Amino acid sequence: MEYEAVIGLEIHAQLLTSSKAFCSCSTKFGAQPNMNTCPICQGMPGTLPVFNKRALEYTIKMALACNCSINGISRFARKNYYYPDLPKNYQISQYELPVSEHGWVIIETEQGPRKIGITRIHMEEDAGKLVHDERNPVSYVDYNRTGVPLIEIVSEPDMRTPEEASSYLKTLHSILVYLRICDGNMEEGSFRCDANVSVRPVGTVEFGTKTELKNMNSFKNVQKGLHYEINRHTEIVREGGRIIQETRLFDPTSGATVSMRSKEQAHDYRYFPDPDLLPLRVDEEWITEIKNGLPELPAEKKERFIKDFGIPPYDAGVLTASRELAEYFEEVVNYFNNPKLVSNWIMTEFMRVLKADESSVKDSLVKPAQLAELLRMIEDGKISGKIAKTVFDEMWATGFSPDKIVLEKGLLQVSDTSELESIISKILDDNPAEVKKYLDGKTQVVGFFVGQVMKASKGKANPGLVNKILSEQLSKLSA
């Protein structure tokens, strides 16, 4: 029997507000432990939460970008459980009345686009962090992260493969980053994902028993964890076994998942409306205002790039995966209207150095105008494509203009016909055997001559001119 997986994802995204959700402490990452705290986020007796409206605005942005409906009235609820990283021993979250519900996004799959349902998007506060002393039976707690606003995005169980799950995750990640409401950093935990997985025989409608997967802190690990878990489920079911409903942890070193707690050990969170916070009211006017302020989203941008710039869908997908990259591309095209060449350069050279240096588009020393200038030099035959790569690396490292680099390093292409003629005739003289081959009809030997010319000119020879002179001289010989 064939089995298929049923996958739903819960994504937690930290919102990029400058202060916390319910107090005025900074949300900045990396401060000394417990420096970004106050009596309110420390859960001291008698303190009260006051909601940061910016967090609501960001949540509504995401909800609108995911085609959700916004509830006119929503409520905060308390999720009660004991853990030392949670100073009040309850988390302010939303339960019965979330900010938004019933949305969807389109994801790319190998079989084409697929619509994935979004059950709800709600707001909550983040917990702190425990630091365990490896040598002593002591744990320390850092409340800097406590109270940082989060949104939880819950999908419908609409995904069938780990690849689809990964595509969904990337889609939401790029929307969040596009909206500039989350930095999307998975390592620092500002973008986290839990998965619900089950399997069932292909063609059936009922769900199998699910397990919940936690601790997959990269796109790759989400796929790995899901693959492992789906195989585990399938094997158990094939052998007539039963899946135990439980929460499992993904172990990145072994690539396996291990049981964390069973359904019986699951928490009863005793949700109830938080009496310290009034119901949130969102009026239509504000929603419209936010809607009008939304930027172009990745999917729209991709369509426009294909249509307006005539670049292949693949290129458009790569370029629009990041808002910064897409905007960079558009700026370069603005200066140098050859979109395909620009796209090729960004997808290869630019992205290569970004990745190698773990740098970001906005930190790049190569400004769009300079990249455009470099590409124009190629087009004008001033430098070869190969030399251009060297120049680009220099630009990346120094921020100098391509002009300056080419001049100082003497990299200008040799387009002097007489100079090239003498180089070529010397090469033909020095290689009589290859010339004979050519005269015998083995025309592919032309490549050898071109290579020799490039070598002799240290790559600076204008390739078009080289081809022209070479074929002139060779045809003279054969005459």
**In 220-337, at which residue ranges do the beta strands (DSSP E only) sit?**
246-251, 256-262, 272-273, 280-281
**Is residue 34 involved in binding another protein (CB under 8 A)?**
no
Residue among 67 and 80 whose Cβ is closer to another protein:
80
Residue pair 126/144 in contact (Cβ under 8 Å)? The answer is no
Q: Find the shortest distance in angstroms from Cβ 268 to another protein.
A: 5
Count of residues in contact with another protein, rule CB under 8 A: 29
Q: Find the shortest distance in angstroms from Cβ 405 to another protein.
A: 58
Task: Out of 35, 50, 73, 294, point to the residue binding another protein (CB under 8 A).
Answer: 50
Residue among 35 and 278 whose Cβ is closer to another protein:
278
Q: Is the dihedral of CA 409, 415, 419, 424 positive or negative?
A: positive
Pairing of strands 100-109, 112-125: antiparallel
Exposed / middle / buried, residue 214 (Cβ in 10 Å: 0-12, 13-18, 19+): middle
Residue among 84 and 255 whose Cβ is closer to another protein:
84
Q: Which residues, in sequence order, are bridge partners of residue 251?
A: 256
Residue among 73 and 278 whose Cβ is closer to another protein:
278
**Is residue 136 involved in binding another protein (CB under 8 A)?**
no
Pairing of strands 112-125, 77-80: unpaired
Q: Find the shortest distance in angstroms from Cβ 73 to another protein.
A: 15
**Is residue 46 involved in binding another protein (CB under 8 A)?**
yes
Binding mask 276-295 for another protein (x = CB under 8 A): xxx-----------------
Interface positions, 86-125, toward another protein (CB under 8 A): 87-90
User: How is 142-163 classified by DSSP, letter by letter?
Assistant: E-SSTT-EEEEEEE-S-B-SHH
**Is residue 132 involved in binding another protein (CB under 8 A)?**
no
Residue among 39 and 72 whose Cβ is closer to another protein:
39
Q: Find the shortest distance in angstroms from Cβ 129 to another protein.
A: 14
The SS3 assignment for 400 reads coil
Binding mask 59-88 for another protein (x = CB under 8 A): -------------------x-x-x-x--xx
Exposed / middle / buried, residue 137 (Cβ in 10 Å: 0-12, 13-18, 19+): exposed
User: How is 321-390 classified by DSSP, letter by letter?
Assistant: TSHHHHHHHHHHHHHS--HHHHHHHIIIIIHHHHHHTT--GGG-SS-HHHHHHHHHHHHTTSS-HHHHHH
**Is residue 45 involved in binding another protein (CB under 8 A)?**
yes
Interface positions, 219-278, toward another protein (CB under 8 A): 268, 270-272, 275-278
**Is residue 39 involved in binding another protein (CB under 8 A)?**
yes
Where do contacts with another protein occur on this chain (CB under 8 A)?
39, 42-51, 78, 80, 82, 84, 87-90, 139, 141, 268, 270-272, 275-278
